[in-house]
Amino acid sequence: MRLWERGELLRDVVTARERFPLRLSLSTPGSGDITERFDLVRSWADQLALTKALRIEWQEIRHRVQGTQRLPLSVWIDTLDGALGWIGKRRELERFAAQVAATRETNEALIAWMAKRPLTALELHAEWEHLLAVVNWFMLHPRPGIYLRQVDVAGVHTKFIEKHRSILTEMLDLVLPAEAIDMTKTGINQFAARYGLLEKPIRIRFRILDADINLINGCSFPDIALDADSFGSLNLGGKNVFICENETNFLALPQLPNAIVIFGAGYGWQALAGCEWLKHCSIYYWGDIDTHGFGILNQLRSYFEHVDSFLMDRATLKNHQIFWGVEDKPLQADLHRLTSEENNLYNDLRDNRIRTCLRLEQEHVSYGWLCARLQNLFKAS
């Protein structure tokens, strides 16, 4: 059973190793056992002798009390079939052998994977034919540039491929040429990107805050969602751009001259990175006053170094002490793109100098405080 559970007996089918006859050593009774438990020792030997799957190698032991005794030294299992019958795995091995034969006919390159993961392959017996078909399809269509829904394999639907992305990744990495795999894309969530499938477009949601910005005829203050490429093709350079992490704040931001507001995406700024016109805008980032809020600001500045923080200052924090909360798992890293004022507050939060794990969520900033700060901002500009 240990050989089976380690996959060794199945692996022998792939490698054609001849393991049988197989000798199994025994933990045999000692002299004290023969003296004190002689009947149990004889019963043990008799039971072994009656086990049909075994061939016994005997030894004679001269005992000072019981005299010469003939006891088992080791046992032999002469055939694989005998071993499988004994542990009840004959049908499973036959299934695996059929999988190996089918794989040799359709995709010899996957034999190495079966030798490495025989038990996993056996578990996938019912799906094996379709897995082979999917792998063969990708070999014929490397980096196809279509959506997963468009992969046309008989009997295979999108959810089947999604369910087996982890296994298919191992297989495809083995059989596809290096140029067909983007090794920088890892994990099942990047399966599509790794093998050249199209991914669901990232949507950027934004609101127009000035009626004079006319993107959609007849809509003065539209709430719009565009894919990243379309958003990047807009011509909104020179605008005031606010980025809010909280949807309520995104919706409640008042009308402002020459301004839009973007609904933020946490640490996921790649969608905005290719937006050249943002480099010619005034950008204000409004996040939580906690370590991760400053971490997000720090990352955003890696794409747009001229970003200003908004309502992420010590005065806002102190004025809203009644709403102070607790931050789970505060960030501990040093941040190198913060201003000196921002960095001082970040360090106070990180090092618990004000209060342990302190945070002020942006939705707790009073609307009056927001409007007053906006008024001052636009007076200054």
338 close to 372: Cβ distance less than 8 angstroms: no
The rounded percent of the chain whose pLDDT value lies above 70 is 97
Domain map (residue ranges) of the chain: 2-87, 91-194, 203-380
The Cβ of residue 128 has, within 10 Å, a number of other Cβ atoms equal to: 19
| pLDDT at residue 68 is higher than 80 | no
Q: Would you say 9 and 80 are in contact if contact means Cβ atoms under 8 Å apart? A: yes
Q: Burial code of 30-51, b = ≥16 C-beta within 10 A, e = fewer?
A: eeeebeeeeeebeebbeeeeee
> Which pair of structure tokens corresponds to residue 260?
């839009």
Lookup: tokens for 114: 């079966």
Confidence of residue 64 (pLDDT cuts 50, 70, 90): low
Q: Which among 59-68, 162-171, 237-246 has the top mean pLDDT?
A: 162-171
pTM for the predicted model, two decimal places: 0.68
Instruction: Name which CATH class applies to 203-380.
Output: alpha beta
Q: State the residue for tokens 């079939």.
A: 81
Strands 308-309, 282-286: pairing kind: parallel
Please say whether the beta carbons of 319 and 368 come within 8 A: no
- pLDDT category, 342, cuts 50, 70, 90? very high
Average pLDDT over residues 138-157: 95
What are the pLDDT digits (tens) for 149-168? Answer: 999 999 999 999 999 999 99
Long-range contacts of 39-45 (CB under 8 A, 24+ apart): 41/69, 41/71, 45/70, 45/71, 45/72
Residues 126/96, Cβ–Cβ less than 8 Å: no
User: Which whole number is the average pLDDT over 222-231?
Assistant: 92
Residue 268 has pLDDT above 90, yes or no: no
Q: Of 67-76, 97-106, 215-224, 351-360, give the lowest mean pLDDT range.
A: 67-76
The predicted pLDDT at position 198 comes to 94
Report the mean per-residue pLDDT for the chain.
91
| Residue in 88, 97, 90, 133 with CA at minimum distance from that of residue 118 | 97
Number of other CB atoms surrounding residue 342 within 10 Å: 19
Q: How confident is the model at residue 67, as a pLDDT? A: 63
Of 5, 2, 3, whose CA–CA distance to 119 is shortest?
A: 5
Q: Among candidates 136, 171, 166, which has minimal Cα distance to 151?
A: 136
Six-digit token string for 32: 């004290």
Element holding 85 (H helix, E strand): helix 80-87
- Tell me how far apart the alpha carbons of residues 74 and 272 are, in angstroms, rounded to a whole number: 71
pLDDT value, residue 59: 79
| pLDDT reported for residue 210 | 93
The reported pLDDT for the residue numbered 47 is: 84
